[in-house]
């Protein structure tokens, strides 16, 4: 497949003729949906009694006067008493981690999601440029549409930085229509003026693609400085006021309601402001495995918006046309109109977002909450299931933290968990025993290590962390954010070694162990990031991992995420990678031993 040859939107002349004939009443539609009420997201109306005619993957006609277009070869769905809405679009998510595309789609499709626009940093950090192109192959020829944003790969890790996406690679990606823009660039690094990021931004503008934003916590001058570069969106507001500030600055705001945070309720107050909301969008920023199973995907978010008091038509617009318009793909998707892809969900009534039928690309893909068409399982190349490159097994003393000079006490900078996501630094006095620093579970002080595992250095940094709560054992993950490290925390060096060695054996995963015993684990063989197991198994194993962690004393509600984000530059503010501790406050590496 030539990389530049893919054309998502263009259809053949044959289909053009066929569509016109069906519209003209001169040829039979493949599928007709009759008697329904149609939510017109363009005008914000509900129009009753129109027929939707579908030929191939597209809508040919919407109206009352359909002539001979319904014939013996036409499949007819009677939507009497029902409501038709466009398929949902998730405008910001992360589906290159944890579960495979086909597993996600098992749940996404039956709820009515027909387009997903995802970030790709996880697979890029863990498998490089080839990881992105392979992901694009996996996303191809699925029952629904998947688009990506190219990862800017802002990282604190020197190893990852050396292998980050180049301008040339970005240019190659932009030859593909399914690459809609440059993914979230955290504002702090951007306004620091990082040359590579500015070059990527320039290339994105040249290619006519979107610059997706990430302005968590920014406001006023700093927010505006960031936006001057052409940033077009933000999915990080947590309040109506932050949302309002961004909308006024011309940004699209993608309200986040997913695993990492839930902001919809707080932001919903904006519905009472008397302002245009056509740049307001619903998104998930990633949905957890158990939430997918229990709540569903975008249909859950849209229903919640309605339940919070958003006008149902607006709620639907926020998950359909507003997203399509933001990404400038509204000529093709986002509404029920001739020429658009036939991505349609039939629901019982306007306020009840339960998909009775899901039609994607003109095909009934789900009915009554059951899949009719199965997502395609992609076979990743063997090499991508072999991405944990370590020089050998770890031993306990690889995690020793030695103090030179025979001192008996030192002041140590440790990572201190402040909330579920945010860390700060704490400076504490620690006793040196036999030339080493040790964890102190009585004061909730554990060791934390970051190990480079893709670019095969095996470089390791060991520090300390507070706020996790483990009394014994160790927990490790290769599913880290914004680098290709394994992160491990532990009360004992031997357990830390065991956890890392088990990940090496699994070629990726999340492992909880204690005293020579693996207590719980989830293998993540694809790039050390993605499980190949069914969604239910993943949810179950994550549950056991959390339970095992809690049994070892863990006090955090989601240990997997708590470890994964220790390396990201996107969340404040003391972070770790193979090279050391990185303070986002001063934007540089800082010493472990301060004094």
Enumerate residues 27-56 that contact its own copies by CB under 8 A. Answer: 40, 42-45, 47
Q: Which is nearer to its own copies, 214 or 453 (CB)?
A: 214
Per-residue interface string for the shown chain with its own copies, residues 391-430, x marking contact by CB under 8 A:
----------------------------------------
Calpha distance 165→123 (Å, rounded): 12
What burial letters (b/e) apply to 449-487, b meaning 16+ CB within 10 Å? bbbbbbbeeebbbbbbbbbbbbeebbbbbbbbbbbbbbb
The reply on whether position 239 binds its own copies by CB under 8 A is: no
Dist. CA 487–CA 461, nearest whole Å? 10
**Between 106 and 340, whose beta carbon lies closer to its own copies?**
340
Note whether 141 binds its own copies by CB under 8 A.
no
* Minimum distance of its own copies from residue 317's CB (angstroms): 8
**Which one of 71-79, 154-162, 216-224, 535-543 is the stretch in contact with its own copies (CB under 8 A)?**
216-224
Options 77, 136, 231, 316; binder of its own copies; rule CB under 8 A: 231
**CB-based burial of residue 47 (10 Å sphere; 0-12 exposed, 13-18 middle, 19+ buried)?**
middle
Q: How many other C-beta atoms are found inside a 10 Å radius of the C-beta of residue 17?
A: 11
Write down how long the chain is. 595
In 3D space, the residue among 552, 533, 480 whose CA is nearest the CA of residue 510 turns out to be: 480
Interface residue with its own copies, options 68, 177, 271, 418 (CB under 8 A): 177
- For its own copies, the closer CB: 68 or 354: 68
Nearer to its own copies, 63 or 381 (CB): 63
Taking contact as CB under 8 A, which single stretch among the options 76-84, 206-214, 376-384, 406-414 is the one that binds its own copies? 206-214
Taking CB under 8 A as the criterion, the residue among 3, 49, 75, 225 binding its own copies is 225
Q: Is 193 in the site for its own copies (CB under 8 A)?
A: yes
Applying CB under 8 A, among 89, 117, 229, 474 the residue interacting with its own copies is: 229
- CB of 145 or CB of 210, closer to its own copies: 210
Q: Is 2 in the site for its own copies (CB under 8 A)?
A: no
Q: Does 328 bind its own copies (CB under 8 A)?
A: yes
Nearest to 524, CA basis, from 478, 588, 483: 478
Nearest residue (CB) to its own copies, 340 versus 575: 340
User: Whose Cβ is closer to its own copies: residue 65's or residue 434's?
Assistant: 65
Beta carbons within 10 angstroms of residue 362's beta carbon: 20
Q: Are 584 and 569 in contact (CB under 8 A)?
A: yes
Question: Which C-beta is closer to its own copies: that of 245 or that of 493?
Answer: 245
Non-local (6+) Cβ contacts of 339 within 8 A are 19, 58, 59, 331
- Here the tokens at position 238 are 């947590």
When asked if residue 176 is in the footprint of its own copies (CB under 8 A), the reply is no
Question: Cβ distance 38 to 62 under 8 Å?
Answer: yes
Task: Write down the least CB distance from residue 191 to its own copies, Å.
Answer: 6
Q: Is 61 in the site for its own copies (CB under 8 A)?
A: yes
Residues 190 and 339 sit within 8 Å (Cβ to Cβ): no
According to CB under 8 A, which residues from 253 to 292 bind its own copies? 275-276, 278-279
Note whether 449 and 577 are within 8 A (CB).
no
Residues 6+ apart with CB under 8 A from 500: 390, 394, 449, 451, 476, 486, 488
230 binds its own copies (CB under 8 A): yes
Strand partners, 179: 148
Which of 3, 78, 265, 331 is the binder for its own copies (CB under 8 A)?
331
Closer residue to its own copies (CB): 16 or 433: 16
Helices (H), 84-139: 101-111, 121-139
Residue tagged 């014939």 (tokens): 71
Instruction: Give the pair of three-digit tokens for residue 134.
Output: 């392979």
Of the candidate residues 1, 80, 162, 220, the single one contacting its own copies (CB under 8 A): 220
* Binding span for its own copies by CB under 8 A among 5-13, 292-300, 345-353, 357-365: 5-13
Q: How far apart are CA 374 and CA 378, in angstroms?
A: 12
Alpha-carbon distance of 60 to 346, in angstroms, equals: 18
Q: Closer to its own copies at the Cβ: 18 or 259?
A: 18
311 is a site residue for its own copies (CB under 8 A)? no
**9: contact with its own copies by CB under 8 A:** yes
Least distance to its own copies from the beta carbon of 525, Å? 36
Rounded distance, CA 32 to CA 74, Å?
7
Q: Is 71 in the site for its own copies (CB under 8 A)?
A: no
**198 near its own copies (CB under 8 A):** yes
Contact range with its own copies by CB under 8 A, out of 106-114, 195-203, 285-293, 518-526: 195-203
Q: Which runs of consecutive H residues, i.e. helices, occur in 441-524?
A: 493-506
Q: Does 67 bind its own copies (CB under 8 A)?
A: yes
Interaction of residue 382 with its own copies, rule CB under 8 A: no
Distance CA 93, CA 110 (A): 18
Taking CB under 8 A as the criterion, the residue among 112, 237, 288, 335 binding its own copies is 335
- Given a contact cutoff of 8 angstroms between Cβ atoms, the answer to whether 342 and 31 are in contact is yes
Do the beta carbons of residue 432 and residue 540 sit within 8 Å?
A: no
Count of residues that bind its own copies according to CB under 8 A: 71
Euclidean distance between CA atoms 438 and 425, whole angstroms: 18
Structure tokens at 183: 């993914």
Rounded distance between C-alpha atoms, residue 428 and residue 592, angstroms: 11
Of the candidate residues 58, 94, 235, 447, the single one contacting its own copies (CB under 8 A) = 58
Token duo for residue 590: 């800082």
> Among positive and negative, which fits the CA dihedral 516, 522, 528, 532?
positive
For its own copies, the closer of residues 340 and 447 by Cβ is 340
Least distance between its own copies and beta carbon 232 (Å): 5
Contact with its own copies (CB under 8 A) among 236, 257, 259, 330:
330
Among the listed residues 113, 149, 215, 232, the single contact to its own copies using CB under 8 A: 232
Per CB under 8 A, the segment of 91-99, 122-130, 215-223, 549-557 that binds its own copies is: 215-223
Q: Under a CB-based contact definition with an 8 Å cutoff, are residues 280 and 322 in contact?
A: yes
Candidates 3, 48, 49, 63: give the one binding its own copies (CB under 8 A).
63
**For its own copies, which stretch binds (CB under 8 A), given 187-195, 357-365, 535-543, 578-586?**
187-195
């Amino acid at each position: 497949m030539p990389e530049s040859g893919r054309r998502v939107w263009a259809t053949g002349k044959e289909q053009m003729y066929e569509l016109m004939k069906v519209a003209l009443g001169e040829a039979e539609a493949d599928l007709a949906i009759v008697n329904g009420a149609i939510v017109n997201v363009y005008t914000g109306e509900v129009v009753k009694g129109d027929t939707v005619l579908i030929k191939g993957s597209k809508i040919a006609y919407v109206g009352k006067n359909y002539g001979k277009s319904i014939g013996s070869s036409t499949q007819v769905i009677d939507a009497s008493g029902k409501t038709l809405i466009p398929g949902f679009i998730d405008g910001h998510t992360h589906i290159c981690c944890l579960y495979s595309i086909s597993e996600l789609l098992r749940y996404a499709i039956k709820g009515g999601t027909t387009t997903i626009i995802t970030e790709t940093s996880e697979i890029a950090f863990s498998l490089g440029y080839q990881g992105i192109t392979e992901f694009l192959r996996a996303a191809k020829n699925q029952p629904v549409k998947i688009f990506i944003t190219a990862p800017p790969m802002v990282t604190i890790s020197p190893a990852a930085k050396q292998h980050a996406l180049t301008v040339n690679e970005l240019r190659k990606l932009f030859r593909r229509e399914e690459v809609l823009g440059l993914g979230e660039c955290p504002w702090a690094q951007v306004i620091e003026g990082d040359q590579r990021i500015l070059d990527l931004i320039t290339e994105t503008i040249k290619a006519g693609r979107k610059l997706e934003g990430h302005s968590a916590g920014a406001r006023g001058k700093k927010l505006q400085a960031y936006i001057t570069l052409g940033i077009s969106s933000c999915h990080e507001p947590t309040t109506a006021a932050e949302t309002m500030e961004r909308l006024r600055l011309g940004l699209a705001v993608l309200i986040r309601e997913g695993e990492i945070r839930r902001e919809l309720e707080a932001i919903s107050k904006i519905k009472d402001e008397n302002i245009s909301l056509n740049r307001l969008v619903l998104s998930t920023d990633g949905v957890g495995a158990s939430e997918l199973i229990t709540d569903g995907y975008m249909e859950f978010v849209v229903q919640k918006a309605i339940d919070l008091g958003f006008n149902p038509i607006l709620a639907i617009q926020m998950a359909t046309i507003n997203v399509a318009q933001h990404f400038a793909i509204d000529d093709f998707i986002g509404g029920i109109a001739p020429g658009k892809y036939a991505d349609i969900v039939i629901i019982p009534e306007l306020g009840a977002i339960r998909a009775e039928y899901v039609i994607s690309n003109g095909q009934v893909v789900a009915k009554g909450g059951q899949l009719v068409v199965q997502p395609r399982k992609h076979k990743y190349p063997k090499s991508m299931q072999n991405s944990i490159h370590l020089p050998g097994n770890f031993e306990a003393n690889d995690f020793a933290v030695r103090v030179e000079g025979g001192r008996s006490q030192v002041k140590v900078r440790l990572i201190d968990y402040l909330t579920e996501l945010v860390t700060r630094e704490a400076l504490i006095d620690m006793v040196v025993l036999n030339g080493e620093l040790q964890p102190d579970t009585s004061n909730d002080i554990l060791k934390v290590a970051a190990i480079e595992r893709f670019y095969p250095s095996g470089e390791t940094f060991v520090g300390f962390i507070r706020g996790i709560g483990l009394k014994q054992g160790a927990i490790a993950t290769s599913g880290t954010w914004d680098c290709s490290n394994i992160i491990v925390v532990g009360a004992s060096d031997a357990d830390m070694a065991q956890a890392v060695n088990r990940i090496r054996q699994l070629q990726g995963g999340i492992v909880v162990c204690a005293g020579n015993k693996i207590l719980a684990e989830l293998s993540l063989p694809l790039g050390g990031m993605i499980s190949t197991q069914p969604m239910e198994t993943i949810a179950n194993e994550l549950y056991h991992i959390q339970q095992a962690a809690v049994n070892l004393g863990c006090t955090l509600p989601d240990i997997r995420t708590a470890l994964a984000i220790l390396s990201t530059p996107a969340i404040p503010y003391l972070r770790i990678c193979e090279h050391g501790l990185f303070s986002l406050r001063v934007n540089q590496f800082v010493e472990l031993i301060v004094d």
